[in-house]
Amino acid sequence: MRVLHFFKTYWPDTFGGIERTIDAIARSTAGLGVETTVLSLSRKPLERSVEFHGHRAVKARLDLDIASTGLSLGALGQFAREAAEADIVHYHFPWPYMDAAHFLVRHGKPSVATYHSDIIKQRALKRVYAPLMQRFLGCVDSLVATSPNYAASSPVLARYRDKLEIIPIGLEDEVDAEEMLPASLAMDRPFFLFAGVLRYYKGLDVLLDAASLVPGDIVILGSGPLEDRLRRRAQAERLTNVRFVGALPDEEKVALMRRCCAFVFPSNERSEAFGLSLVEAAMFARPMISTEISTGTSYVNFDGETGLVVPPNDAQALAAAMNEIIRAPERAEQWGASARRRYLDLFTAEAMGRRYCALYTRLLTQGRG
């Protein structure tokens, strides 16, 4: 079975949450007989069309990027050629260009769209885009939400209950991965870890607001658009318990994940639709602190069972949860053990791969019928 994934960007150009999800789907379905190609846009399409983790990552030229929407004149022809060779076309929403390409190319293959997020930031453009979006979502053969929480809270998905199913994002188990902790990363007291791209919806200003109320260290792992501003703010306010370590190799990230007293994830917008970093924390049996934004974050981190869930944009509540972790380390370790069990029950790559493969097979069978 040949599956074509279509999304605006992919490795090696970028490797964010949706890109990691596509990679995890490709890898977890490979052993079940699925051959994967991922078509995306790139400023350097020739040199960045590569083999990656056993599947093809091919590129069309990115001509223009407006409001986070990549546009390409040449992609339509390439999409048509790749779709002709595929049995299933797997879209990753949102990306308005993709919706238009679906109707312009008319490939005729069974199609599924994984619905990663509502459109949150571009509200004005959403009103213009809404008719195309609704037509696209109504046209694909199947829609996948990544958590029951998001399916229940999204006003868009409410229109398409008859074709919607839930497949949580899963990651390969790396609990036995090698680690390396350089002396520069050694900590003398309990520390909380945040890991992710430093974007506007991660709630990191709230985390800095909470820092002065917590008698422990906070390690911020990752880079992104807000990094420089956040560093300057922490320096100006003399938040000596906050450490920015930038992007790190996997073995150093693993070392920090294993040693943190808890994983903290203060996202404050629904753009944080799932929270793959929370899945990683659960994999490593770490207790978690996250926020209630009616998305998958509260599906991964189940309040009172795998950690604590607090209101968004509430530094006092966030600090109180962090202090509870410090005060009650035995309970925190119990939450971490529960997080590991929840990972094994719900969020493994193997389970995700089986469910997507079953969906692909059903769509093919329906198409032949």
Per-residue model confidence as pLDDT tens digits over 300-325: 999 999 999 999 999 999 999 999 99
Minimal CA–CA distance to 283: which of 230, 328, 238, 343?
A: 343
Q: What is the rounded radius of gyration, in angstroms, for the C-alpha atoms of the chain?
A: 21
The predicted pLDDT at position 124 comes to: 67
> Model-level pTM?
0.93
Structure tokens at 149: 């929480």
The predicted pLDDT at position 68 comes to: 77
pLDDT digits (tens, 9 = 90+) for 325-346: 999 999 999 999 999 999 999 9
The residue-averaged pLDDT of 263-286 equals 97
Q: Distance between CA 42 and CA 246 in Å, rounded?
A: 25
Q: Distance between CA 160 and CA 80 in Å, rounded?
A: 27
The residue-averaged pLDDT of 70-84 equals 94
**Dihedral pair phi/psi, residue 213, rounded to 5°:** -100, 5
- As a residue count, the chain comes to 369
pLDDT digits (tens, 9 = 90+) for 164-212: 999 999 999 999 999 999 998 998 899 999 999 999 999 999 999 999 9
Sheet holding 50-52, edge to edge: 50-52, 55-61, 35-42, 2-6, 88-93, 111-115, 142-145, 164-166
Structure tokens at 215: 């008698």
The predicted pLDDT at position 367 comes to: 66
Burial category of 293 from C-beta neighbours within 10 Å (exposed 0-12, middle 13-18, buried 19 and up): buried
The predicted pLDDT at position 369 comes to: 46
pLDDT digits (tens, 9 = 90+) for 35-52: 999 999 999 999 999 999
Structure tokens at 279: 């899945």
The predicted pLDDT at position 368 comes to: 56
Q: Output 146 or 369, whichever has higher pLDDT.
A: 146
For the chain, the average pLDDT equals 95
The predicted pLDDT at position 41 comes to: 97
With beta carbons less than 8 A apart as the criterion, state whether 325 and 261 touch. yes
3-state class (DSSP) for residue 169: coil
Q: Distance between CA 29 and CA 16 in Å, rounded?
A: 20
The predicted pLDDT at position 7 comes to: 98
The predicted pLDDT at position 121 comes to: 74
The residue-averaged pLDDT of 281-310 equals 98
- Which residues are paired to 92 by β-bridges? 114
pLDDT digits (tens, 9 = 90+) for 95-152: 999 999 999 999 999 999 999 999 887 666 778 889 999 999 999 999 999 999 999 9
> Looking at the domain that runs over 183-347, which CATH code has it been given?
3.40.50.2000
**Dihedral pair phi/psi, residue 71, rounded to 5°:** -125, 145
CATH architecture assignment, domain 2-171+349-366: 3-Layer(aba) Sandwich (3.40)
Angle at 38 between CA 12 and CA 194, to 5 degrees: 50
- Domain regions of the chain by residue span: 2-171+349-366, 183-347
pLDDT digits (tens, 9 = 90+) for 211-266: 999 999 999 999 999 999 999 999 999 999 999 999 999 999 999 999 999 999 99
